Structures are given as structure tokens and as C-alpha cells.
Amino acid sequence: MTRGIVRSPFGVMPDGTPVDVFTLTNGAGTSVRVLELGGIVQSVRAPDRAGALANVVLGFEDLAGYLGDRNYIGALIGRFAGRIAGARYHEAGRTYVLAANDGDAILHGGPRGFDKAVWRGRICDEGKRVRLHHVSPDGDQGFPGELAVEATFELTEANAIVLTFSATTSGPTVINLTHHGYWNLTGQGAVRDHRLSVHADEVLEVDAVMAPTGRLTPVEGGPLDLRRPRRIGEIVDALGGVDYTFILRGGAWLADPASGRTLEVWTTEPGLTVYTANQFETGGPHPRFGGVALESEHFPDSPNHPAFPSTALWPGQTFFSRTVFTLGVEGP
């Protein structure tokens, strides 16, 4: 592939809206494909220890696959990543009722979240980056204020994928944005043999419907103590799967001993939600535990927990976050 960024058609939405794909390629041959639909990262082709390239994220070959997907594969998530319990929150004496899509909660922005939107993209910064733009109208999924969001992707020569978000609002609102990519550094099969570490001493405690209780649980000595690398299969066997938000004190690291590929994650966000594809359907397009999502974000249900880092955004303010996914290799 030619080094740089190439824009090309990918498909057409049912309403006739065209969707383009941007392919970013560096000098090492690593490439990233980003769709205008949902800001989806369709593929990341990266070398193993022998230099062989393979796609290391889950995805679909065509638009139809994404239109039928219910697992947010590869997508940008908003307005609010994670759950807001009861699909409502209170701010300045007013209650905002949101569009529930997960029992009585709202999950990942609602039934028509940012993952379903067609963002408008362009190549910018002298051909170095792809910038996607989306405007969420006042009242979208129940959230107040018109929200203008930009997501920028860059692939560096050091095999780092740099994702930045910025957003402004016309009225007081809440915001929590993330990328919901599923990583599989082998390129196929399950990720049970991957090693994962997360620099965190605590995770959010959740109730029976996966809503945060407001309390933090120490990881010390338990299956979620990932301060040293652990095999994902060991964690999954102990818990039946992982779907927890870690309180970050540093970064996260993922490795596949078979291929030698590694992934390092650093972010400005206070939390990292780790999800091991526990609910993927047997016989579906991707196997259960076929990938691991590393979602850098603020905490779920933050508007209902004043002690959590604030997710409020006010007119005149600019939301900003930056997450860097660096791909590498290690020896035998």
C-alpha cells in the first residue's frame, strides 16, 4: 500500500447516504481503515514478529454487516459511553429522561447513538490525519443541548493510532465518548491466550444489572488484579467474562504470545472499561471471547454519582480527550 491517506467509497445507507472509508498507511505497512458510519475502525493491519501483516480488530467486510451489528464493533460511542441507570439524571433542579435501550437503562448513547450516525470526514493537517464531524441535535436520545463533536485519527510511523475527541455544546449537557474496538492480536479465534495488564488498583462495583453502585472495589488478590500480566482465559474462567471499569493509575498492555504482537494503551481519561465479548452469540460472525474491548472513558452512570469525575459540559467549554494505541512486537 501507498504511505499516506486514501479516501474511497465503502457503501450506501438504506436512505441513500453514501459512506466513505479512509485508509491510513505508514511506512512500515501498518494500515487503519476508518468508516464514516459510526467512526468505525473497520480494520487495523499490523505486523507480527516475522513481519507478516494481519487484521487485529474485529470487523465486517461490508456495510450490511455493520447495519446488523448489535455489539458496537469498532464504533465511536456517544453521547454517553456505558450505562446511565434508569435512563435519567438530575441537573440544576431538572430531570432529563433519556431513551432506554438496555432494560430501564440507556447504554452507549441509546438506540440511535453515535455508532449509528454517518459522520462527515475529511483528510486534514497536510494529509496526516482524518477528522470526522458529527452534530447531535438538542434532545437527541433525550440529551439536552446541541453537541458538535470531532474525532481525529492519526497513524504514526511508530505504529501508534492516536484518537482525539473534542466537543462543544449549546446548552448544559453530559458527555462520555469512547472507541469500542475489539482487539484480537492473533487475527482470528479467541483471545483466551492473550496476556492483559491494567495499571489500576480499583474497579467500579456494579449491581445485578451492571449499573455502578458508587463504590470502588480493590483488585488486590482477586481475578481482576491485572497490575501484572495475566492470561485472559484465566480471568474469564474465574468470572465468566469481564465487563468492568478500571480506575486508571497508568496505562494498559495486551500481548499475544503466538504472534508476538503487543498493544499499549495510554489515555487522558480516568477509566478503562474492559469487555471480553462475553455476550457474543454462539454461531455468530465472531466467536464468544473473540476480542477484547479496551474502552478509555469516564465512568458509567457518572451523572448520578457526584463523587465520580464530572462528565458535565457547559456552553463556552470544550471537551477534549486523547487515547493512544501503540502496536508493537516482542520476541519469542
End-to-end CA distance of the chain: 28
Strand partners, 152: 131, 164
In terms of C-beta density within 10 A (0-12 exposed, 13-18 middle, 19 or more buried), how is residue 239 classed? middle
- Per-residue pLDDT of 116-158, as tens digits, reads 999 999 999 999 999 999 999 999 999 999 999 999 999 999 9
Cell numbers describing residue 250 = 497508568
Give the Cα separation of 296 and 201 in Å (integer): 16
pLDDT at 282 exceeding the cut of 80: no
Q: What is the per-residue pLDDT for 312?
A: 97
DSSP 155-173: E-TTSEEEEEEEEEESS-E
DSSP state of 3: S
pLDDT at 274 exceeding the cut of 70: yes
> What are the two backbone dihedrals, phi and then psi, of residue 233, each rounded to the nearest 5 degrees?
-60, -35
- Per-residue pLDDT of 181-206, as tens digits, reads 999 999 999 999 999 999 999 999 99
**Catalytic hit among 154, 269, 295, 297:** 295
- Per-residue pLDDT of 39-97, as tens digits, reads 999 999 999 999 999 999 999 999 999 999 999 999 999 999 999 999 999 988 899 99
Q: What is the per-residue pLDDT for 304?
A: 97
Strand partners, 249: none
**Catalytic hit among 108, 134, 179, 180:** 180
* CA diameter of the chain: 60
Cβ distance 145 to 219 under 8 Å?
Answer: no
DSSP state of 210: S
pLDDT at 19 exceeding the cut of 90: yes
Give the Cα separation of 180 and 115 in Å (integer): 9
| CA-angle at 326, arms to 178 and 275, nearest 5° | 40
Regarding predicted confidence, which is higher, 279 or 315? 315
Cell numbers describing residue 156 = 504514526
User: Has 295 been annotated as catalytic?
Assistant: yes
Domains (ranges, CATH) in the chain? 4-329 (2.70.98.10)
Q: What is the per-residue pLDDT for 1?
A: 58
Cell numbers describing residue 46 = 499490523
- Per-residue pLDDT of 220-271, as tens digits, reads 999 999 999 999 999 999 999 999 999 999 999 999 999 999 999 999 999 9
pLDDT at 272 exceeding the cut of 80: yes
Cell numbers describing residue 195 = 496476556
Q: What's the mean per-residue pLDDT of the chain?
A: 96
3-class SS of residue 256 = coil
Tell which residue, 173, 75, 174, has the closest CA to residue 132. 75
Cβ distance 266 to 324 under 8 Å?
Answer: yes
Model confidence band, residue 331 (pLDDT cutoffs 50, 70, 90): confident
Strand partners, 124: 129
Q: What is the per-residue pLDDT for 233?
A: 97
72: left (phi over 0), alpha (psi -120 to 50) or beta: left
User: Has 286 been annotated as catalytic?
Assistant: no
Q: What is the per-residue pLDDT for 211?
A: 92
pLDDT at 23 exceeding the cut of 70: yes
Give the Cα separation of 168 and 172 in Å (integer): 10
Pairing mode of beta strands 120-124, 88-91: unpaired
3-class SS of residue 107 = strand
Please report, for residues 30, 65, 101, the alpha-carbon distance to residue 311 in angstroms, rounded to integers and kept in the order given: 34, 32, 21
